[in-house]
Structure 1
Amino acid sequence: MDVTPLPKGAGRRCLDELNSLHATIYFAPDFGEELAAHGVEDPMAVYLAGRAAPWGAVGAGPVAASFNGLNHELIARHLPRLWTQVAPATVVALRLRAADAVLRRFLGEAALASAEMTEAADLAVRALEACEPRGRPMYAAHADHPVPDAPHLALWHAATLLREYRGDGHVTALTTAGILGLDALVSHSASKDGLPKEFVMERHGWTAEDWAAAEQRLGARGLMDADGRLSARGVLVRERLEEETDRLDGAPYAHLGASGVSRLTELTGSFTATAAAAGAFPTELAPAGAD
């Protein structure tokens, strides 16, 4: 067993690569085309279906609570009505089939059949052994589904689980800090790693008025200035949020040990680089998650 202490940020760097591999499905048409055959064509409905289906025929409330950043009204336009068009179990199967098609296209058959793919899958699945599902609703829903047999799909599945595990922990950190929902999105958008607010608003169902009100709330707490930028205190709060998320997300990477985390980061990073070179991601966006 590797007892070497993990370098600072090693778990987050590993998750960044895993998250990028997972995210290939969001930038490809395959899953949308699978759902279009069932009459589901709205891009938001497709997104909600993919992430919420592992729960079963859930309504808008739990999804809004667990996703955190999406407007409840936006979610309620699609859930639970969506499940009358396509059953959640069908969505889970279609999403995995889409992931298979996307990875085959962007990585190639040789990479999928390689020893490196099997090694990466084994490491990622082993990391899941240390994930405690209690208090992690998104992770727990996905963890109820079996690990696929094919190594590339096992890696993608494990990447999905580890992504949701960290996301659940991040929502816990945000809850403790009292920065939830739109306020979390606004503070993240104003950070050095944030996406433009217009992009975030459009995809999360918020209006300019909603955004301005959140800026005022954050400003009243001393977290933003009058120009919509994070204050010094706001920057510090965001840094502490990420540090707390790292702490809450530490178990799977501590379980792998320093050498295992380093190797999984290297292998997954190589696959992600191959996918990027093949055009898997839009050039204007980094393939990473947000609040």
Structure 2
Amino acid sequence: MSDTIARTMWERFEPVHQLVYFAPEVRETADGLGMRGYWMGYFALRAAPLGPAPAAVVTGCFHVFHPDRVARALPDAWQLASPQQVLQARERAVDAAMTSLYGPDVVASADLAEAADLAWRAALAADTAGRVLSAANQALPRPAQPHVRLWQAVTTLREHRGDGHVAVLVSRRLGPVAAMVLKSAAGETDAEFQRRTRQWGSGPWRAAQEELGERGWLDAQGRLTAAGAAAREQIEADTDAAAAAPWTALGPDATARLARLLEPLARTVLDSGIVPDANPVGLTDGTWGPPGRPGAADRSPVRVTRDE
């Protein structure tokens, strides 16, 4: 199966996964556990499948965060709620967020249940050797509610892709800051948003720019050179190739069916305004055309600030 299928599927499932970072219901649930600020909730909710992992382990798995950013949240979060309690709360939050955004008729629909079962099959087929975050998510029990099951399946697939991407970056000797500089220079996300939210200072950012300049990947103005654009394109191609196994296992017909079922769900997330334009994964409306879901402005997305 073509590696481009892996990218197509990522574009369909990533917006559904992103609800856990930006839906107000998720922030409310994290606050209810006693998590102090957005970032403690973020690290606890995402890292909970690993068990009570210390900050150093989570920093290594997540790749792009300054160690101090993680250490402000972990292991303190595990004193407020155990990983098992966090996982249970995560399911409740996803249930509430998806029901609020999609409506009860959609979450109870046959199409969503079909999508959940197809995505679960793909997630179980993900090759997780050497992929810690995806393996931890893959090992979680199958949720009873189809919409929560769909979210957990696409989260396993998302972390599977992310683990593979980190491996590609490491193979090219691209550290956390250099990887973000390259992504930002490619126009896929906002540099200041990346630097600030991942809590890297201007010094490491300049050093990474200089490093990429010495490689010939950035020019004096910090823009991608032809060599840098080619390197970035190859990194993405290798990431797609590393993410292809679940779709090969699912097969072309079932994969195409899942893509069709996911498309309106992804479109609804993007139209809602929940995911900010400057989001760190570079997720945009570009693939999907102009937004326009009625009532999208009625929901208030979570805002990520420097000090939380």
TM-score of the alignment, normalized to the shorter chain, above 0.5: yes
Q: Distance in 2 between matches of 1:7 and 1:220?
A: 34
Give the corresponding residue for 1:24.
19
Residue of 77, 98, 102 corresponding to 2:72: 77
Separation (CA, whole Å) in 2 of partners of 1:153 and 1:96: 7
**Who is 1:218 aligned against?**
212
Partner of 2:63: 68
Query: Can you list the C-alpha shifts for 1:199-239, whole angstroms capped at 9, x where unaligned?
Result: 11111011122211110111111111111111111111111
Q: Aligned equivalents of 1:113 and 1:59: distance in 2?
A: 38
Rounded to whole Å, the distance in 1 between the matches of 2:198 and 2:270 is 25
Identity across matched positions, percent: 36
8 Å CA contact retained: 1:7, 1:258: no
Do the aligned partners of residues 129 and 144 (structure 1) sit closer, same or farther apart at CA in structure 2, a change above 3 Å counting? closer
1:64 deviates by 1.2
Report the equivalent of 1:88.
83
Unaligned runs of 5+ in 2: 284-308
Q: Deviations over 1:33-69 (max 9, x none)?
A: 2222232122111111111111111111111111111
Shift of 1:285: 4.5
Which of 234, 243, 247 is 2:241 aligned to? 247
CA distance in 2, matches of 1:140, 1:120: 21
Q: Does 1:114 align with 2:109?
A: yes
Letter in 2 for 1:154: R
Cα distance between partner residues in 1 of 2:252 and 2:149: 22
1:270 aligns with 2:268: no
SS of equivalent residue, structure 1 residue 9: helix
Q: Which amino acid aligns with 2:186?
A: S
Shift, 1:28, TM fit: 1.4
Could you tell me how far apart the structure 1 residues matched to 2:281 and 2:133 are? 18
Aligned to 1:229: 223
CA contact (8 A) 1:121 1:155 kept: yes
The residue number in structure 2 matching 1:142 is 137
CA shift in 2, pair 1:147/1:39, >3 Å: same
Q: CA separation in 2, counterparts of 1:267 and 1:288?
A: 22
* Equivalent in the alignment of 1:256: 250
* Cα 1:278/1:214, change in 2 over 3 Å: closer
Contact kept, 8 Å, 2:194 with 2:280, in 1: the verdict is no
Shift of residue 287, structure 1, vs aligned partner: 8.9
* Distance (Å, rounded) in 2 between the aligned partners of 1:176 and 1:288: 20
CA contact (8 A) 1:16 1:288 kept: no
Cα distance in 1 between the residues matched to 2:226 and 2:271 = 38
The match for 1:166 is 161
1: CA distance, partners of 2:195 / 2:259: 32
Matched, 1:127 2:152: no
- 2:51–2:83: 8 Å Cα contact kept in structure 1? yes
Residue type at the aligned position of 1:254: T
Q: Which amino acid aligns with 1:268?
A: L
Superposed CA deviations along residues 85-111 of structure 1, whole A, max 9, x for unmatched, are 111111111111100000000111111
Give me the CA root mean square deviation. Answer: 1.7
Q: Secondary structure at the match of 2:153?
A: helix
RCO higher in structure (CA 8 A, sep ≥6): 1
Shift of the alpha carbon at 1:146?
0.7
Gaps of at least 5 residues in structure 1 are 1-5
Corresponding residue of 2:53: 58
Code of the residue aligned with 1:75 in structure 2: it is: V
Letter of the 1:227 counterpart:
Q
Amino acid at match of 1:108: G
1:3 corresponds in structure 2 to none
Tell me the equivalent position of 2:287.
Answer: none
Separation in 1 of the partners of 2:186 and 2:38?
A: 27
Tell me which of 272, 275, 280 is aligned to 1:281: 275
